[in-house]
Amino acid sequence: MRNLGQTSRYFSVEAGTGGGEGGTDDAAAAAAAAASGTGGDNGAAEPKWFEDARIPDDARTWMTAKGVTAAADPSEAILKMVGMGQAADRRFGRPIDQVIDKPGKDQPLAEWRKAHAETFGLPADASGYEIARPEGLPEGIAWNDGLADKMRNLAFERGLAPDDVKAMTEMYAGYVAEVDQNLDRDMREAEGKLAAELDREWGKDAEVHKTRARQAASALAEQAGLDADGIRSVVGLLSSGEPGQTAAMKIFAAAGALLAEDKGIGLRSGASSFGMTKEEAATEFTKFMAPDGEWAKASQARDSEAIARLRPQFERLARLASGAK
């Protein structure tokens, strides 16, 4: 281990200075004084290695606080400081110069994250967040592009990581899908209970009421000007099993009862075939198709608009005349 006299030659700005023979003699005298412990002509103590003028005051203060200056030899101090650096690297799992500072006092977390955008992989602007419709979202649920844009802007404003935004989007989509599935299940269960109650209410006349409801739906759809496909879709709703079918069946059955009793709801004239027997329908169909009938006149005139309007009545009369319901 070097003694203090030897150390001072490496850390003193005055060691080894001077030129010519005088300089050599001075150096030799300084070495002799250091060896004898006199510290020179005036007997002053040799400065400590950490008192070297090249060491900044703040660094000297830090070394003193860390106990580094307790080492008599600068080599020991260096080894101690190296050990501190290695311990810090192991503690943080990376070199100390790669560790980011924690947020400052009262500094918003979003501001701190954006200040370290590169570390967190934040995009340069809101458009950098890729928010797309999750693959598992049912087709029946609409995707809201406007809400997605708002999420992008909020994510950029808050300095959120792209992976976090993606995870939140998928979580929300999963929640919406679950709510939709539960709602559909609950509605179908409720529909089943209503259908059972209606069957108990109608009892042995249930099929009569259902047939009347379908006929009323057909007549009302025709009165509304729907074409054949439209009429079939309306009547088909009453046998779809979808939520709301039972309520619709009950409503159309009530409408059918009013039509059958001709209670002046203004529909009999536009639905002259409603409630007909097979024989009555056959008679009416014959008139409808006669040379002077509406269908023949529209066909001869090649009036496509009239033909389109009369087609539902043609199909319904033909169906009733054949005995179909």
Backbone angles phi, psi at 84, to 5 degrees: -60, -45
Residues 6 or more apart whose CB falls under 8 angstroms from that of 222 comprise 231, 270, 271, 312, 313, 316
CA distances from 113 to 154, 292, 302 (A): 14, 85, 75
123: left (phi over 0), alpha (psi -120 to 50) or beta: beta
Q: Which 3-state string (H, E, C) describes 37-102?
A: CCCCCCCCCCCCHHHCCCCCHHHHHHHHHCCHHHCCCHHHHHHHHHHHHHHHHHHHCCCHHHCCCC
Final residue of a domain: which of 71, 98, 125? 98
In this structure, are 113 and 54 located in the same domain? Answer: no
Query: In this structure, is residue 36 part of a structural domain?
Result: yes
The whole domain housing 312 covers 276-325
Residue type at position 24: T
* Residue 209 near residue 202, CB atoms below 8 Å: yes
Count of CB atoms within 10 A of residue 242's CB? 13
* Residue 222 near residue 267, CB atoms below 8 Å: no
Query: In this structure, is residue 249 part of a structural domain?
Result: no
CA distances from 171 to 43, 99, 130, 142, 166 (A): 79, 32, 15, 16, 9
Q: How many domains does the chain have?
A: 3
Residue stretches of the chain with pLDDT short of 70: 1-44, 92-101, 260-277, 323-325
Residue located via tokens 């070297």:
52
What local confidence, expressed as pLDDT, does residue 16 receive? 43
What local confidence, expressed as pLDDT, does residue 153 receive? 93
What local confidence, expressed as pLDDT, does residue 265 receive? 42
In this structure, are 11 and 62 located in the same domain? Answer: yes
Query: In this structure, is residue 263 part of a structural domain?
Result: no
Final residue of a domain: which of 40, 63, 98? 98
Count of CB atoms within 10 A of residue 292's CB? 7
In this structure, are 28 and 93 located in the same domain? Answer: yes
Query: In this structure, is residue 103 part of a structural domain?
Result: no
Query: In this structure, is residue 200 part of a structural domain?
Result: no
Instruction: Give dist(CA 254, CA 246) in Å, integer.
Output: 12
Query: In this structure, is residue 43 part of a structural domain?
Result: yes
Question: pLDDT of 74-121, one tens digit each?
Answer: 888 888 888 887 877 777 666 655 556 677 788 788 888 888 788 878
Q: What's the token pair of residue 22?
A: 């005088």
Residue type at position 143: W
In this structure, are 68 and 8 located in the same domain? Answer: yes
In this structure, are 131 and 172 located in the same domain? Answer: yes
Q: Which H or E run includes 161?
A: none
Question: pLDDT of 118-166, one tens digit each?
Answer: 887 889 999 999 888 888 788 878 888 899 999 999 999 989 999 989 8
Final residue of a domain: which of 73, 98, 123? 98
Query: In this structure, is residue 189 part of a structural domain?
Result: no
In this structure, are 82 and 134 located in the same domain? Answer: no
Query: In this structure, is residue 104 part of a structural domain?
Result: no
State whether residue 239 is helix, strand or coil.
coil
